[in-house]
Chains A and B, each alone.
Chain A
Amino acid sequence: MSVVDLAIHPKAVLTRAGSQKGRAFPIVIVGHVDHGKSTLVGRLLHDTDSLPDGKLEQLKAVSAKRGLEFEWSFLLDALQVERDQGITVDTTQIWFTTAQRRYVIIDAPGHKEFLKNMVTGAAQADAAILVVDAAQGLAEQTRRHAYLLHLLGIRQVAVAINKIDLIGHDEARFAAVAESVRGYLADIGIEVSALVPVSARAGDNIAVHSPATAWYRGPTLLGALDAFAPRALPVDQPLRLPVQDLYRFDDRRIVVGRIESGRLKVGDRLRFAPLGREATVASLESWRGDGAVPVQRDEALAGESVAFTLDEEVFVERGALASNPDHRPRDANRITARLFWLDREPLKRGDRVTLKIGTAEREAEVEAITETLDVENLDVATDHTQVERNGVAQVVLRTRRPVALDLHDIQARTGRGVLIRGPQIAGGLVIEAADRIAHDIVAVDSSVTAADRARLNGHRGGVLWLTGLSGAGKSTLAMATQRALFAQGRQVAVLDGDNLRHGLNRDLGFTENDRTENVRRLAEVARLMADTGLIVIVSAISPLAAQRAAAQQIIGVDFHEIYVHADLAVCESRDPKGLYRRARSGELAAFTGISAPYEAPQAARLVIDTTRHSAADASEILLDYATRSFAT
């Protein structure tokens, strides 16, 4: 493409009449490598007069430096490696404006090596232009891209049959290519809105109809773009709101998340899957500027990031999915999904990965690979035990803990998810079927490892060692947290120092030596239990730093010191067992805090101040800590 070419088609240049305001409509341009994507983008920007001053000259210089005549691709291929090797590595974006609206073009690499970057770009689009070389027809990456567009949920597709000049603007040859493209796309469920014969290089049928294709009666490419409808937000579907986080910046407990579908109103009854707790929306919270009068809203719609309070303190955590009780999602632990795999390492039957849907993450096992798809000819194979990189397959995943979701065909935004392996997203999936099955007992041989147990339980074992004064709230906290962990399907037990004195430790008194032995035995038992995969909550005053250090020595890295703090005066005023009164009267000797020392932890993993937090909040803080600390 030379700049001169542009000059001889001055009619193609529209004046920029459109407004820069309003949402930029996102379109992705995909297609096989060298079918002319980058040139098309350059042409779109040029013909809509959207290039900044000096850009053409800069591209000319960059091209000349590499001994090339003129390369539109350098407009988007900004990285040195892309320019030097003449290949688009990563997705990028660029803006242009027609008389009708603003657009953002998402350029997606055509090379198979960079399919993950193509997916990253295409997933952001509302519509797509598929570029097909008129002389070559459909090529492998065109097919793969088209299939992925469909999986990514893009339903509006226009096809640019490019390089029409290279087939002599021939109507019959165009019709043959167009028919094969239309047929393939129909087979995978894509109905094309237009098939436009174009020459990105010469400008044919991009902004204005070309006299060289007088036989063509359809829209120009820009006309086809302007006919696309913005993707509508699903405000009229049932409410789905994945919980992102809980904030306690002041005395309020605020739930935050984005409404994926439906609407949220003050007074709505909400159900939080998968635990099924229910509460009513008490208020929508927002900040609108310092000193600004808050606008009281009572409704928010799909697409909004919201913050709200509930009328009661039910247990809610990140990963919960809020809905209305009568239109709830499915709670499933066996999921059939259509998957595209992006990781270098293939996905094999039996692999364990993290499934993420909304904000929920679950350990999942690949139970079966029911079919793999050859995107070239849409042939299905049912005998594969792994999905190769860039492959498409139908898989069955099983999670130990149920996850709330929808079927993709019914509610797309909560009917899709990603698989994560290591630190990265390794694949994407849309859910075709999901049900809930009873847990199987996984057969294990005699040498059961900690990893085996963690996989079975969905969490690792370990010890939460609650230390603090008598009356600080250790036992209450231990019991409440045990209940909450149990409700989540976790394996949990409480070892209470006082209770063990009735049995295992009944030979011990309250001398410093006996108390040290008491702590040692607690630690040994806790370790045995943690080794069998349990989350063990130890509730014991364990007053001396040296005692707790010894416990840590015994338990090892899974020892988590939690300081349950309340001032002595507060503990004494609570005095749940009447012990302080007896200690003050001299009835009890060597009572911690009164007549024996308490050495507060200097580096506890977590400090919970029970004078500041309600029992429910304290339990939630510890629950949150446990969930994070013992995640697999």
Chain B
Amino acid sequence: MHDDLDALEAQSIYILREAYSRIRPLAMLWSLGKDSNVMIWLAKKAFLGRVPFPVMHLDTGLEFPETYAFRDRYAGEWGLDLIKDACPPLEATDPGLPHNSRIAARKTLGLKEAISQYSLKGVIAGIRRDEQATRAKERVFSPRGDDGAWDFRDQPPELWDHFAADLPPGVHMRIHPLLHWTEIDIWRYIQRESIPVVPLYFANDDGKRFRSLGEIGITFPIDSRAANIEEIIGELEITREPERAGRAMDHDSEDAFERLRVAGYM
């Protein structure tokens, strides 16, 4: 163990290997953002150069063109078994949700369909505790009910890296191998390992870049001159803005994101 990034990496590899050993069939969510790229990288480290389960992009059709180009290139280069099924349309989402949340809720529905279609018992997702306050309450192995619902009032205990993986019928497990990473950890690791990311993270000539990447229409860039990883890390050292400030779906109402997550969103 040489430094803090090695320690973070070792913990993630341990979690990924626990998931692969205990839960099948298993799939990994690939949002195409920086975190899930790191997650795929860690899986390749855990499994010695391969990702031994399908990687799923929940496709709303609303990604940026650069994002799709990235997907199509690296699915091949990384040898991924890519599932890219289209998510159900907006009309299928809960009309009681705020508009921006409904766009995100399409992914929840897409995930539910995929879980059912591929009989998945485990879904690996790249969420982090420091992104958002309800994600900070998550477990590493987080069981979900039949409808994908998160019973946040009664989460199972987890200690000393023992993860209970036996699932009652109708329940699937969300596995969160990046939960203990922070945004700046992610960028320092991307820098150290030379992990490719969608170029939208780097500032363009207009002084704009995306700090958090999501769908067109509900994701907005920040003002920034950070044009490379070094500059992004420098910016994060001093910023006072939260990471997901540019994600409209988080800010529809006080509990917008909690409602999404309770219903099964990542």
Interface bits A406-433 vs B (CB < 8 Å: 1, else 0)? 0000000100111010111100100000
What is the CA–CA distance of A287 and B50 in the complex, to the nearest angstrom? 9
Closest to A19 in B: B237
Check A418 against B162 for contact (C-beta < 8 Å). yes
- How many A-B residue pairs lie within 8 Å, measured between CB atoms? 150
What is the CA–CA distance of A249 and B53 in the complex, to the nearest angstrom? 12
Specify which of B17, B50, B162 is in contact with A249 (CB 8 Å cutoff): B50
Specify which of B158, B182, B242 is in contact with A24 (CB 8 Å cutoff): B182
Would you call A198 an interface residue if the criterion is a C-beta within 8 Å of the partner chain's C-beta atoms? no
B72 cross-chain contacts in A, Cβ below 8 A:
none
A418 cross-chain contacts in B, Cβ below 8 A:
159-160, 162
What is the CA–CA distance of A90 and B11 in the complex, to the nearest angstrom? 22
Supposing A78-B258, A303-B7, A356-B162 touch, asked if A89 and B153 sit within 8 A by C-beta, the answer is: yes
**Distance between B213 CB and nearest chain A CB, rounded to angstroms:** 19
Among B3, B143, B157, chain A packs the most CB atoms within 10 A around the CB of B157
Would you call B4 an interface residue if the criterion is a C-beta within 8 Å of the partner chain's C-beta atoms? yes
Check B17 against A233 for contact (C-beta < 8 Å). no
Closest to B50 in A: A249
B167 cross-chain contacts in A, Cβ below 8 A:
423
**Distance between A405 CB and nearest chain B CB, rounded to angstroms:** 13
Supposing A287-B45, A423-B168 touch, asked if A79 and B152 sit within 8 A by C-beta, the answer is: yes
Supposing A20-B236, A92-B137, A425-B162 touch, asked if A289 and B193 sit within 8 A by C-beta, the answer is: yes
What is the CA–CA distance of A424 and B154 in the complex, to the nearest angstrom? 11
Would you call B225 an interface residue if the criterion is a C-beta within 8 Å of the partner chain's C-beta atoms? no
What is the CA–CA distance of A245 and B18 in the complex, to the nearest angstrom? 8
**Distance between B192 CB and nearest chain A CB, rounded to angstroms:** 11
Would you call B207 an interface residue if the criterion is a C-beta within 8 Å of the partner chain's C-beta atoms? no
Check B242 against A52 for contact (C-beta < 8 Å). yes
Interface bits A274-305 vs B (CB < 8 Å: 1, else 0)? 00000000000111111000000000011111
Supposing A24-B182, A92-B133, A289-B193 touch, asked if A249 and B48 sit within 8 A by C-beta, the answer is: yes
Check A245 against B184 for contact (C-beta < 8 Å). no
Would you call B1 an interface residue if the criterion is a C-beta within 8 Å of the partner chain's C-beta atoms? yes
Check A258 against B1 for contact (C-beta < 8 Å). no
Interface bits B225-249 vs A (CB < 8 Å: 1, else 0)? 0000000000011001110000000
Would you call B136 an interface residue if the criterion is a C-beta within 8 Å of the partner chain's C-beta atoms? yes
What is the CA–CA distance of A92 and B139 in the complex, to the nearest angstrom? 10
What is the CA–CA distance of A610 and B1 in the complex, to the nearest angstrom? 41
What is the CA–CA distance of A24 and B164 in the complex, to the nearest angstrom? 26
A513 cross-chain contacts in B, Cβ below 8 A:
none
Would you call B129 an interface residue if the criterion is a C-beta within 8 Å of the partner chain's C-beta atoms? yes
B129 cross-chain contacts in A, Cβ below 8 A:
92-93
> Which A residues from 176 to 228 make CB contacts under 8 A with B?
none
What is the CA–CA distance of A32 and B242 in the complex, to the nearest angstrom? 31
A62 cross-chain contacts in B, Cβ below 8 A:
254
Interface bits A456-469 vs B (CB < 8 Å: 1, else 0)? 00000000000000
B159 cross-chain contacts in A, Cβ below 8 A:
119-120, 123, 152, 418, 425, 428
A65 cross-chain contacts in B, Cβ below 8 A:
254
Interface bits B136-165 vs A (CB < 8 Å: 1, else 0)? 110100010000000011011111101010
What is the CA–CA distance of A301 and B4 in the complex, to the nearest angstrom? 14
Check A289 against B137 for contact (C-beta < 8 Å). no
Supposing A24-B182, A418-B160 touch, asked if A52 and B240 sit within 8 A by C-beta, the answer is: yes
A89 cross-chain contacts in B, Cβ below 8 A:
152-153
Specify which of A24, A233, A285, A422 is in contact with B48 (CB 8 Å cutoff): A285
Would you call B98 an interface residue if the criterion is a C-beta within 8 Å of the partner chain's C-beta atoms? no
Check A90 against B193 for contact (C-beta < 8 Å). no
Closest to B17 in A: A244
Supposing A120-B157, A303-B1 touch, asked if A21 and B188 sit within 8 A by C-beta, the answer is: yes
What is the CA–CA distance of A120 and B137 in the complex, to the nearest angstrom? 11
**Distance between B50 CB and nearest chain A CB, rounded to angstroms:** 6
A288 cross-chain contacts in B, Cβ below 8 A:
45
Specify which of A55, A249, A422 is in contact with B52 (CB 8 Å cutoff): A249
**Distance between B139 CB and nearest chain A CB, rounded to angstroms:** 7
**Distance between A364 CB and nearest chain B CB, rounded to angstroms:** 15
Specify which of B13, B160, B184 is in contact with A123 (CB 8 Å cutoff): B160
B78 cross-chain contacts in A, Cβ below 8 A:
290
Check B240 against A305 for contact (C-beta < 8 Å). no
Closest to B48 in A: A287
> Which B residues from 115 to 141 make CB contacts under 8 A with A?
129-130, 133-134, 136-137, 139
Check B10 against A90 for contact (C-beta < 8 Å). no
B188 cross-chain contacts in A, Cβ below 8 A:
21
> Which A residues from 103 to 137 make CB contacts under 8 A with B?
116-117, 119-120, 123
Specify which of A79, A117, A233, A416 is in contact with B160 (CB 8 Å cutoff): A416
Check A301 against B1 for contact (C-beta < 8 Å). yes
> Which B residues from 20 to 59 make CB contacts under 8 A with A?
20-21, 44-50, 52
A356 cross-chain contacts in B, Cβ below 8 A:
162
Check A417 against B158 for contact (C-beta < 8 Å). no
Check B155 against A20 for contact (C-beta < 8 Å). no
What is the CA–CA distance of A356 and B129 in the complex, to the nearest angstrom? 27
Question: Size of chain B's interface in residues, with CB distance under 8 A?
Answer: 59
B9 cross-chain contacts in A, Cβ below 8 A:
305
Specify which of A91, A417, A425 is in contact with B156 (CB 8 Å cutoff): A425
What is the CA–CA distance of A206 and B9 in the complex, to the nearest angstrom? 33
Would you call A67 an interface residue if the criterion is a C-beta within 8 Å of the partner chain's C-beta atoms? no
What is the CA–CA distance of A233 and B129 in the complex, to the nearest angstrom? 24
Check B45 against A116 for contact (C-beta < 8 Å). no
A287 cross-chain contacts in B, Cβ below 8 A:
44-45, 48-49
> Which A residues from 124 to 156 make CB contacts under 8 A with B?
152
Would you call B14 an interface residue if the criterion is a C-beta within 8 Å of the partner chain's C-beta atoms? yes
Check B130 against A80 for contact (C-beta < 8 Å). no
Supposing A95-B130, A258-B14 touch, asked if A425 and B48 sit within 8 A by C-beta, the answer is: no
A428 cross-chain contacts in B, Cβ below 8 A:
159-160
Would you call A22 an interface residue if the criterion is a C-beta within 8 Å of the partner chain's C-beta atoms? yes
Specify which of B20, B194, B240 is in contact with A289 (CB 8 Å cutoff): B194
Would you call B205 an interface residue if the criterion is a C-beta within 8 Å of the partner chain's C-beta atoms? no
Would you call A522 an interface residue if the criterion is a C-beta within 8 Å of the partner chain's C-beta atoms? no
A52 cross-chain contacts in B, Cβ below 8 A:
240-242
What is the CA–CA distance of A41 and B52 in the complex, to the nearest angstrom? 42
Check B160 against A245 for contact (C-beta < 8 Å). no
What is the CA–CA distance of A19 and B238 in the complex, to the nearest angstrom? 9
A57 cross-chain contacts in B, Cβ below 8 A:
none
**Distance between B177 CB and nearest chain A CB, rounded to angstroms:** 11
Would you call B252 an interface residue if the criterion is a C-beta within 8 Å of the partner chain's C-beta atoms? no
Would you call B94 an interface residue if the criterion is a C-beta within 8 Å of the partner chain's C-beta atoms? no
Closest to B181 in A: A24
B158 cross-chain contacts in A, Cβ below 8 A:
120, 123, 425
Check A119 against B17 for contact (C-beta < 8 Å). no
Check A424 against B156 for contact (C-beta < 8 Å). yes
Check A286 against B45 for contact (C-beta < 8 Å). yes
Check B162 against A417 for contact (C-beta < 8 Å). yes
A94 cross-chain contacts in B, Cβ below 8 A:
130, 136
Specify which of B4, B49, B133 is in contact with A78 (CB 8 Å cutoff): B133
Closest to B165 in A: A423
**What are 9 A-B contacts defined by CB distance under 8 Å?**
A23-B7, A53-B240, A79-B152, A79-B258, A94-B130, A249-B52, A286-B48, A290-B49, A305-B13
For the complex of A and B, list the 9 residue pairs with the smallest distance between their C-beta atoms, beginning with the closest: A78-B133, A23-B4, A123-B159, A305-B13, A116-B157, A53-B240, A287-B49, A303-B1, A92-B136
Q: Which residues of B contact A (CB under 8 A)?
A: 1, 3-4, 6-7, 9-11, 13-14, 17-18, 20-21, 44-50, 52, 77-78, 129-130, 133-134, 136-137, 139, 143, 152-153, 155-160, 162, 164, 166-168, 171, 182, 184, 188, 193-194, 236-237, 240-242, 254-255, 258
Q: Which residues of A contact B (CB under 8 A)?
A: 19-24, 51-55, 62, 65, 76, 78-81, 89-95, 116-117, 119-120, 123, 152, 233, 244-245, 247, 249, 254, 256, 258, 285-290, 301-305, 307, 318, 342, 356, 413, 416-418, 420, 422-425, 428
Give 11 A-B pairs besides A24-B4, A424-B164 with Cβ atoms closer than 8 angstroms: A52-B242, A53-B241, A78-B134, A90-B152, A92-B137, A95-B130, A117-B155, A233-B1, A245-B21, A305-B10, A423-B168
